[in-house]
Amino acid sequence: MTATSLDRPFTVVSLLPRLLNTNGDAGNARVLAQRVRWSGHDARVVDVHSRADLPEHVDAVSIGSGTDAALLPARDNLRTLVEELRLWSNSGVPILAVGTGWELLSWGSDLPDGSVLEGLGLVAGHAVPRAARATDDIIVASKYGRLIGFENHARDYVGAEASPLGRVLYGTGNADAPASGPQIEGLTMGEVFCTHLHGPVLARNPALADHLLQAAFSRHDLEYARGATAESVDDTARTARNQVAVRLGQNAE
């Protein structure tokens, strides 16, 4: 028989929000928790700055983006959690990693001075410097609907051996348009989602947030359904996305 609720709060872990919140991406954890509450379940966000902060139960994980100055301390902190991150990803716990948070999960990042910052090696591929920083709106066609956000990254992402999050309709994504093949954005591996989209991405694109929650709920034989308040908020988000899309020459949803 399918359960109706957890016997504890749904727990969203926000990893290193002091170091990895340059573009407000730590807010993605708050979006997930609030949508859980709107669905009729208790929820909490746990900010994890070190192993000592880890809660007993983890239902979803959010990793934000940071400055290059934060890369080394963030990487060293995440290394102490690599076994947990590997366990979560292998057991279907949804993980959202944005910007440099994504790079830290990868094989590593080539830095402008020629050095290489080794990543955790949890997702394929690595980051390489761009000739010019990508800073603009971005529109992506994905299986979770059209995603709209803002990208702000000085590195391309190459060598991914996983499925992209989507196809770029406007903007840069993982790299400039190739001579052949689609221009792609992001990376997915099971329930691990990596992206350059800021916004925070889940506030602007609630369908993606709902997919993460459906994955998290299904691990407990629960069904996730967005609440009435979410429907109203999602209409506002749709209007905001459409305003960006029309301005950039795309059709409204």
As annotated, the active-site residues are 198
Q: For residue 176, give both structure tokens.
A: 């400039």
The CB-side HSE value for 211 (13 A sphere, CA atoms) comes to: 16
Burial 123-152 (b: 16+ CB within 10 A, else e): bebbbeeeeeebeeebbbebebbbbbbbbb
Three-state SS string over 226-243 comes to: CCHHHHHHHHHHHHHHHH
Q: Is 133 annotated as a binding residue?
A: yes
Q: For residue 202, give both structure tokens.
A: 């889940």
Residue 91's CB: how many other CB atoms inside 10 A?
11
Residue 104's CB: how many other CB atoms inside 10 A?
30
Within 8 A by CB and 6+ apart from 53, the residues are 46, 47
Q: Contact 60/212 with Cβ under 8 angstroms?
A: yes
Q: For residue 105, give both structure tokens.
A: 């999960």
Q: Which residues are annotated as a binding site?
A: 133
Q: Which residues are annotated as a binding site for substrate?
A: 133
